[in-house]
Chain A
Amino acid sequence: EPEVTQTPSHQVTQMGQEVILRCVPISNHLYFYWYRQILGQKVEFLVSFYNNEISEKSEIFDDQFSVERPDGSNFTLKIRSTKLEDSAMYFCASTTSGQGRKEQYFGPGTRLTVT
């Protein structure tokens, strides 16, 4: 069964450094999402992406964040200058088009630790 994959599984970085989190969505999916889950808190929507542009973004997704689909298979989340409060689990998700947009398939997540 096709799966969403994410790399790395765990990233440790120093405050102020740039990080890129990578996701490979399911191959025929067209809508892509990033969510984050700070330890002990709920999963929060960051951004949705379709047709090479952002569809929606939350207030969390400020100028420090960017997303890209550089090569037709990867979907990346970049944090330009990490802060301690960016430490969280980041989940990628993807969906097909039409009615299939309702159900999201999640990747295993990347745990980001900012020190």
Chain B
Amino acid sequence: AQSVSQHNHHVILSEAASLELGCNYSYGGTVNLFWYVQYPGQHLQLLLKYFSGDPLVKGIKGFEAEFIKSKFSFNLRKPSVQWSDTAEYFCAVNANSGAGSYQLTFGKGTKLSVIP
């Protein structure tokens, strides 16, 4: 079974600060990796995804993430956060369940508060 750990429960940053949110997963096989964002009162939106290839992936809104296979990590980064990045961020993984479905396993989420 897969599991996902997000180490930071709540991160508070000032605008223009750099962001790095940690995500580690456990699974013995090949996984697909995702970061989702949930703005207050809104639904899950995909920020970025990694299936294969270049381990550094770029997503929307200036976010990027790096897959480090040896560390089972997929950390999310942004060089300079804005107040509008205030949201909850979820790391998720999936793999073929064997029955053909790719259900996602989510981490507990990291709440990001950006202070103007």
Q: Which of A's residues lie within 8 Å of B, judged by CB?
A: 31, 33, 35, 41-45, 48, 50, 55-56, 91, 93, 95, 99, 101-104, 106-109
Contacts and interface: CB of A to CB of B under 8 A. Distances in A.
Interface in B58-116: 90, 92, 94, 96-97, 99-109
B103 A43 contact: no
A33 B103 CA distance: 8
A112 B99 CA distance: 29
A48 B13 CA distance: 38
28 contacts: A31-B100, A33-B103, A33-B104, A41-B108, A42-B106, A43-B104, A43-B106, A44-B106, A45-B105, A48-B101, A50-B100, A50-B101, A55-B101, A56-B97, A56-B103, A95-B102, A99-B51, A101-B96, A102-B32, A102-B51, A102-B94, A103-B32, A103-B34, A103-B46, A104-B94, A104-B104, A108-B43, A109-B43
Interface string B25-52: 0000000101010000011111001010
B97 A42 contact: no
Nearest to A99: B51
B43 A56 contact: no
Range class of the B interface residue count? 20 to 34
Given A41-B108, A103-B49, A108-B42, A31 B101 contact: yes
Contacts of B104: 33, 35, 43, 45, 93, 104
B43 A106 contact: yes
B51 A55 contact: no
Nearest to B43: A108
Contacts of B49: 102-103
B101 A101 contact: yes
A103 B51 CA distance: 9
Contacts of B102: 31, 95, 101-102, 104
B105 to A, nearest CB: 7
Given A102-B32, A102-B94, A48 B108 contact: no
